[in-house]
């Protein structure tokens, strides 16, 4: 194991290794965590308590996570003078699986966002967000239980790649001059200009990851969500390359939806279809139970994840992960909610559910199921944090850590 200046490698732990795209998980894996800023320390303390209890309840003394704190955000800046020390990236690469709380975006220091930097440097190319209703969570839908999807959002390309030029700058004028002069494009004077790159490389590795996820978890459908009717060579190509990956790399495990429409039996294979993005927003409202894994480019996925999360009760209970070839980083999807920092008040549900995803990623499904049962029990008993309590009748409002203890109590 390499040496770290700030982080301590916990005694008795072992490294998670990989064989091809499969993880080899020892009984005492070392898992790095980033506590996070603002409400991070509160929600992390509750989450760690819940995860440790789930592993003990499921496996007794046989398994245990050896947590290793790594620094990022304000805590890192206080201790090291840096927002994201180099060794934090190194630890995530070395130990392969990590979990984090939310991080403040430092303003005006040349860093766009610590989260974006982590994703970029570690090449975490798929953002994975399962969206499923937990019984008892207040929802604006009549039948929230009908939505059970996993959104795979591409993380590195699209208009989010950050290639853009401000209106009126010499750079924007030069790009416009090239496009209007040499490419015969019509672009108004003084336009701000952004570029939307979508590549076969970026698309195919992302879609392949979604298919492997579907196979591992026995999911039955995958929908490529795109706006290819308008943006043919980016979004349309995304769908074409997606079908190509399914056909060429997973011929026995997948079947295109068109063949099912022609009367073929799915026969246990994953049915691969596609939808235009605007229609997809209608479908998740009107026919949610017909959808399973939704694979999207970056921008569509950003919108769709929050819209779906709202259907099952909002971002407070929405988990996520950013996954690349060697590293997976699980995280809360909300921010640092600074006005509640240190008050032991907010809902730790989002990080707890991210930890459920992490345990499933390790193959520790028994522990993951215990947490899901515990969460459902605590929410069913209406012993919840302020955000859920204010939407429920007769709820008992509890603090962050106490909510964690309630989850443990219902495992």
Question: Where do we find the tokens 């706006």?
Answer: 227
The answer to whether 329 and 347 are in contact (CB under 8 A) is no
Name which of 39 and 294 has its Cβ closer to ligand NAP.
39
Cα gap 311→293, rounded to integer Å: 16
Name which of 34 and 284 has its Cβ closer to ligand NAP.
34
* Residues 344-373: x where in contact with ligand NAP by CB under 6 A, - otherwise, as a string: --xx--x-----------------------
Cα gap 171→192, rounded to integer Å: 10
Going by their DSSP bridges, the two strands 254-256 and 270-276 should be labelled as parallel
Q: How far is the CB of 338 from ligand NAP (least distance, A)?
A: 6
Q: How far is the CB of 72 from ligand NAP (least distance, A)?
A: 10
For ligand NAP, which residue of 35, 158, 331, 344 counts as binding (CB under 6 A)?
A: 331
Long-range contacts of 19-26 (CB under 8 A, 24+ apart): 21/212, 21/325, 23/96, 23/97, 23/361, 23/362, 23/363, 25/362, 25/363, 25/364
**Strand-pair partners of 100:** 34, 331
Is 387 a binding residue for ligand NAP by CB under 6 A? The answer is yes
The first and second tokens of residue 48, run together, are 């760690």
Is 387 marked active-site? no
Q: List, in sequence order, the alpha helices (H) in 250-326.
A: 257-261, 277-286, 298-311
For ligand NAP, which residue of 10, 194, 236, 335 counts as binding (CB under 6 A)?
A: 335
The answer to whether 133 and 147 are in contact (CB under 8 A) is yes
Contacting range for ligand NAP; rule: CB under 6 A; set: 216-224, 278-286, 293-301, 330-338: 330-338
For ligand NAP, which residue of 144, 316, 324, 374 counts as binding (CB under 6 A)?
A: 316
Cα gap 205→384, rounded to integer Å: 40
Which is catalytic among the residues 21, 27, 216, 278? 278
Which is catalytic among the residues 213, 227, 274, 345? 227
Q: How far is the CB of 334 from ligand NAP (least distance, A)?
A: 4
Return the closest-CA partner of residue 317 out of 154, 139, 193, 157: 139
Total site size for ligand NAP, rule CB under 6 A: 18
Contacting range for ligand NAP; rule: CB under 6 A; set: 61-69, 168-176, 227-235, 334-342: 334-342
The answer to whether 116 and 122 are in contact (CB under 8 A) is no
For ligand NAP, which residue of 54, 88, 115, 311 counts as binding (CB under 6 A)?
A: 115
Name which of 67 and 386 has its Cβ closer to ligand NAP.
386
Q: How far is the CB of 103 from ligand NAP (least distance, A)?
A: 4
Q: How far is CA 182 from CA 177, 189, 242, 354, in A?
A: 8, 16, 32, 49
Name which of 237 and 395 has its Cβ closer to ligand NAP.
395
Is 265 marked active-site? no
Is 47 a binding residue for ligand NAP by CB under 6 A? The answer is no
- Residues lying near ligand NAP in the complex (CB under 6 A): 39, 43, 102-105, 115, 316, 331, 334-338, 346-347, 350, 387
């Amino acid at each position: 194991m390499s040496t770290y200046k700030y982080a301590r490698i916990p005694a008795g732990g072992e490294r998670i290794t990989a064989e091809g795209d499969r993880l080899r998980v020892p009984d005492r894996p070392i898992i790095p965590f980033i506590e996070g800023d603002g409400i991070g320390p509160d929600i992390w303390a509750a989450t760690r308590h819940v995860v440790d209890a789930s592993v003990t309840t499921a496996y007794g003394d046989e398994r245990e996570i050896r947590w290793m704190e790594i620094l990022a955000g304000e805590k890192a800046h206080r201790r090291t003078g840096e927002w994201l020390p180099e060794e934090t990236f190194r630890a995530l690469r070395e130990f392969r699986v990590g979990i984090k709380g939310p991080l403040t975006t430092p303003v005006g220091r040349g860093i766009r966002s610590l989260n974006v930097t982590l994703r970029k440097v570690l090449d975490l190319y798929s953002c994975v967000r399962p969206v499923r209703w937990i019984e008892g969570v207040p929802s604006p839908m009549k039948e929230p239980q009908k939505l059970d999807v996993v959104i795979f959002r591409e993380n590195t390309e699209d208009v989010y790649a950050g290639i853009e030029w401000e209106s009126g700058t010499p750079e924007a004028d030069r790009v416009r001059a090239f496009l209007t002069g040499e490419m015969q494009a019509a672009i108004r004077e003084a336009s701000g200009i952004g570029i939307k790159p979508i590549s076969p490389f970026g698309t195919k590795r992302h879609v392949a990851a979604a298919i492997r996820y579907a196979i591992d978890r026995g999911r039955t459908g995958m929908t490529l969500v795109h706006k290819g009717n308008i943006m043919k060579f980016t979004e349309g190509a995304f769908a074409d390359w997606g079908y190509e990956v399914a056909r060429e790399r997973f011929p026995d495990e997948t079947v295109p939806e068109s063949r099912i429409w022609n009367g073929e039996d799915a026969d246990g294979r994953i049915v691969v279809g596609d939808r235009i993005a605007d229609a997809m927003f209608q479908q998740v409202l009107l026919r949610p139970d017909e959808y399973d894994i939704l694979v999207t480019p970056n921008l569509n996925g950003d919108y769709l994840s929050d819209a779906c999360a709202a259907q099952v009760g909002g971002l407070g209970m929405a988990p996520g992960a950013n996954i690349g070839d060697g590293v997976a980083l699980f995280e809360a999807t909300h921010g640092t909610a600074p006005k509640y920092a240190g008050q032991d008040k907010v809902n730790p549900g989002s990080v707890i559910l991210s930890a459920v995803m992490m345990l499933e990623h390790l193959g520790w499904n028994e522990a993951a199921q215990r947490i899901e049962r515990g969460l459902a029990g605590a929410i069913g008993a209406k012993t919840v944090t302020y955000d859920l309590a204010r939407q429920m009748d007769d709820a008992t409002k509890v603090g962050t850590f106490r909510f964690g203890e309630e989850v443990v109590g219902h495992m």
